Amino acid sequence: LFGRHSMLPRHVQRLGRDWIAHWNGSQILALNSPASSCMRWAGHYPPWASFPLPVSADFSVNWRFPSFFGPWRQFQNSNWHLDNYTQSCCFHLPNPSMKSEGEEPLIKKRRLSEQDDTSSPEQETNLSNHKEGSCLSVAQNEEKHGSKKGTIKRHWEYFCQQSKTMKITENKGSDKSIMESEATFDFTVMSYNILSQNLLEDNSHLYKHCRQRLLFWTYRFPNILQEIKELDADVLCLQEVQEDHYRTEIKSSLESLGYHCEYKMRTGRKPDGCAICFKTSKFSLISSNPVEFFRRDIPLLDRDNVGLVLLLQPRFHCETSAAICIANTHLLYNPRRGDIKLTQLAMLLAEIASVAPQKNGSFCPVIICGDFNSVPGSPLYKFIKEGKLNYEGLAIGKVSGQEQFPRGQRILSIPIWPKKLGISQNCVYEIKQQQKEENAGEKLEAAKPDNTQEIVITSEKLSSKLQHHFKLSSVYSHYFPETGIPEVTTCHSRSAVTVDYIFYSAANDDTAAQTGAEDSFCGGLKLLGRLALLTEKDLWTVNGLPNENNSSDHLPLLAEFRLIER
């Protein structure tokens, strides 16, 4: 690029890829305009990024000029020159790998241009919930950039000062009698899509912004393992776990860290799946229940996604036998097949409903983790949180909210899935109940219940309302309360959105939980804290995901809970 434009000033010619320098206020590259002007570099930074940005005077630059610097006449007309700016103003030049405006997808540009101008009712609700519950906000912007090159610090957010104090006192070995009088058990859960190597290679267009060496599994796996070590969660819910990597190195590496691992591989050609791993020092396994969403006899369910549901026994002494149900899944990606997504979700909820019941008829506490390929505020997301969804007239392309202009316009059928799936509109298994009805009584007496059953099923077919019996809240609020900017859990060349979640059944006194859901649980979970997420702007300062230090295109989600028994 620079060889073609020999007329460029010598100090500009020297600027190139991988050049690191320390700039002061008299060496700032600037427009001939006031410091408050907004400058945008196409293909290098999101359109809403204003310059100059207040960052430290010493910073590293790894960049190349955007495409609009050629030919020379365009450069001449743009009035670029060196100017004396104040010490507090400088330009933060992002990593260069997005080379031109043409490499930035149109969908991303449209979404980003409207990002700061729109807010949803879901956003406002989440903001108010966050302000009520959170006692500690994300650290200041200047603290986000770690001392290690290319890293962004993520900070722990506590939801009450007491939980922070408890963590400190426990670490000091203080008497645990200072804790609540009721039986409690604190533990952490991580949800992490670690990016299958096969899927990375099959979708290389999503990672054009990355240097090639960063995409090799031999580079990525040590980084992922180091993240897991540092975060040290008691329970890991991993998605896109490639089977051969799991068998040869992932499982053994995690076992050496004190985890017991359960794994379910996808049923089709793609050799990845879901894993749940837990610290044997904290839990023992009661049951492991894999869920296959593929059904050969049902045309709707022709995809190979899977789920995994574990029932765990905490290792602590209490009056009653507590248990925790942990579920993990990776729902279908296709934005135009909301009918399949909802059916897969119903199958997972039905399995949880069969695993989580206790002797007294209530459910044990439930945690559902995974990549749901749905955005906050979408119908699928609201169904999980609110426990109900009326899908009458809903287009299949709008179920997940992944596309601003959905291409799937077909309306969801009523019911969505056929009767022979054996799952009711309440997302529970019907098969056992139907078998009992068929075997009960004599043939003449059995005819009447059969007729009644037909009437019930007919009315159910006419109903467009889905329900589930769990009181679920989201660990994350999806928007930063100070700015309203969305959190993101995945960021690559095509998009930066939230699709990963940790949902949990909240205790009645959990200040971070939603209200109004059905209380059918034995005790519940109190959210003590979470590892803060980042904005898209934050992630592009380290060249998006994956990058030198974060080797997946998703961020790990991490939350701390307290198990509370009645």
- Angstrom CA distances, 365 to 183, 276, 311, stand at 14, 17, 10
In a domain, 497, yes or no: yes
**Minimum mean pLDDT among 103-107, 186-190, 390-394: which range?**
103-107
Residue type for 122, please? Answer: E
What pLDDT does residue 47 have?
Answer: 42
Tell me the pLDDT of the chain averaged across its residues: 76
CATH of the domain at 333: 3.60.10.10
Confidence of residue 2 (pLDDT cuts 50, 70, 90): very low
pLDDT at residue 274 is higher than 60: yes
The pair of structure tokens assigned to 198 is 């096969």
User: Given this model, what pLDDT does residue 510 score?
Assistant: 78
Answer yes or no: is 200 within a domain.
Answer: yes
Say which range, 8-12, 150-154, 191-195, 264-268, has the weakest mean pLDDT.
8-12
Please, how many CA atoms are within 13 Å of residue 522, restricted to the half-sphere of its CB? Answer: 16
Between CA 545 and CA 490 the distance in angstroms is 7
In a domain, 125, yes or no: no
Q: Report the distance separating Cα 156 and Cα 136, nearest Å.
A: 8
C-beta neighbour count of 102 within 10 angstroms: 11
d(CA 450, CA 72): 83
Residue 223 has pLDDT above 60, yes or no: yes
Backbone angles phi, psi at 487, to 5 degrees: -75, 155
pLDDT band at residue 320 under the 50/70/90 scheme: low
Average pLDDT score over residue span 78-99: 37
More confident residue, 240 or 433: 240
Range of the domain at 411: 182-428+463-565
Residue 300 domain-assigned (yes or no) = yes
Give the torsion sign (CA, 518, 127, 493, 241).
Answer: negative
Instruction: Give the list of residues 6+ apart from residue 404 with CB closer than 8 angstroms, or none.
Output: 107, 110, 111
List, for residues 133-148, the tens digit of each pLDDT value.
444 433 334 344 444 5
Rounded CA gap, 535 and 553, in Å?
Answer: 14
The sign of the dihedral angle between the CA atoms of 531, 532, 536, 540 is: negative
Torsion of CA 234, 277, 289, 195, to 10 degrees: 120
Look at residue 431 in the predicted model and tell me its pLDDT: 66
pTM of the entire predicted model: 0.71
Structural domain contains residue 524: yes
Total structural domains within the chain: 1
DSSP 333-372: --TT-HHHHHHHHHHHHHHHHHHSB-TTSSBPPEEEEEE-
- Between 462 and 565, the higher pLDDT residue: 565
Who wins on pLDDT, 332 or 96?
Answer: 332
Average pLDDT of 376-404? Answer: 97
- Range name among 116-125, 257-266, 314-323, 335-344 with the lowest pLDDT average: 116-125
Enter the DSSP assignment of 483.
T
The whole-number average pLDDT for the span 482-509 is 95
Residue 157 counted as domain residue = no
- Mean pLDDT across the stretch 155-173? 62
pLDDT of 131 > 70? The answer is no
Query: Does residue 493 surpass a pLDDT of 90?
Result: yes
Q: How far apart are CA 106 and CA 102, in angstroms?
A: 9
- 67: Cβ contacts below 8 Å, ≥ 6 apart: 42, 43, 99, 100, 101, 102
Residue 73 located in a structural domain: no
Q: Please check whether residue 186 lies inside any domain of the structure.
A: yes
The DSSP secondary-structure symbol of 489 reads S
At 364, the pLDDT band (50, 70, 90 cuts) reads very high
Task: Give first-to-last CA distance, the chain, whole Å.
Answer: 69
Q: What is the pLDDT of residues 425-477, one digit of tens each?
A: 999 999 655 554 555 544 445 445 554 444 444 444 468 999 999 999 999 99
Which tokens hold the place of 305?
A: 């996604």
